[in-house]
């Protein structure tokens, strides 16, 4: 299973379209602040960011071969993570900070894809690609 995740694109549809031309995936997720409608960013499934005015939900969750993935815009609290882990979640993704992040524990992963258009951790916009094969997760941050 291949999952492509972007965040904080702030109305830049050209960068989203470039990712779609570059990456063929089973699932496309957006961690908020697209500032665009669901139709405009399709096939990305998005959560509501602090700059979004469209009716997105606060969380999106999907099943993966290694457990459920949950996406939201703001960073997770430890209490939230513990609650989700008890419910079978093993991959946590958030946006908002515009900075890439990957963190692994014995029972879960935490990721931030960074910002595709307004990075705060370098000169190039970034996104995240997760690959899950044979019950193993690998990931790669890619730049636009």
Q: What spatial distance separates the first Cα and last Cα of the chain, rounded to whole Å?
A: 22
Q: Convert the pLDDT of each residue in 63-109 to its tens digit.
A: 999 999 999 999 999 999 999 999 999 999 999 999 999 999 999 99
Return the pLDDT at 122. 87
User: How sure is the predictor about 123, in pLDDT bands with cuts at 50, 70 and 90?
Assistant: confident
Cα–Cα dist 59/13, whole Å: 22
Asked if 44 and 60 touch (Cβ cutoff 8 Å), the reply is no
Tokens representing residue 69 in the block: 């993935």
CA distance linking residue 29 with residue 44, whole number of Å? 5
Give residue 12's pLDDT: 96
pLDDT tier at 144, thresholds 50, 70, 90: confident
Mean pLDDT of 9-20: 97
What's the mean pLDDT when you consider all of the chain?
Answer: 97
**What DSSP assignment string belongs to 16-52?**
HHHHHHH---SEEEE-S---S-HHHHTT-EEB--TT-
Rounded Cα distance between 7 and 95, Å, is 6
Residue 80's SS3 state is helix
Please state, in angstroms and rounded to a whole number, the distance separating the CA atoms of residues 1 and 132: 5
CA distances from 116 to 79, 85, 112, 126 (A): 29, 28, 11, 5
Phi and psi at residue 9, in whole multiples of 5°? -90, -15
Instruction: Write out pLDDT tens, residues 50-75.
Output: 999 999 999 999 999 999 999 999 99
**pTM exceeding 0.85:** yes
Whole-angstrom Cα Rg for the chain: 14
């Amino acid at each position: 299973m291949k999952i492509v995740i972007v965040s904080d694109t702030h109305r830049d549809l050209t960068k989203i379209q470039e990712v779609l031309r570059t990456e063929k995936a089973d699932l496309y997720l957006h961690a908020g602040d697209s500032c665009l409608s669901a139709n405009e960013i399709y096939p990305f499934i998005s959560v509501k960011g602090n700059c979004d005015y469209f009716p997105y939900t606060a969380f999106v969750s999907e099943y993966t071969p290694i457990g459920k993935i949950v996406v939201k815009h703001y960073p997770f609290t430890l209490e939230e993570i513990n609650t989700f882990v008890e419910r079978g979640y093993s991959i946590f993704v958030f946006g908002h900070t515009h900075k890439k992040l990957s963190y692994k524990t014995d029972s879960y992963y935490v990721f931030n894809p960074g910002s595709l258009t307004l990075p705060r951790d370098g000169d190039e916009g970034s996104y995240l690609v997760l690959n899950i094969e044979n019950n193993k997760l690998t990931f790669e941050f890619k730049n636009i």
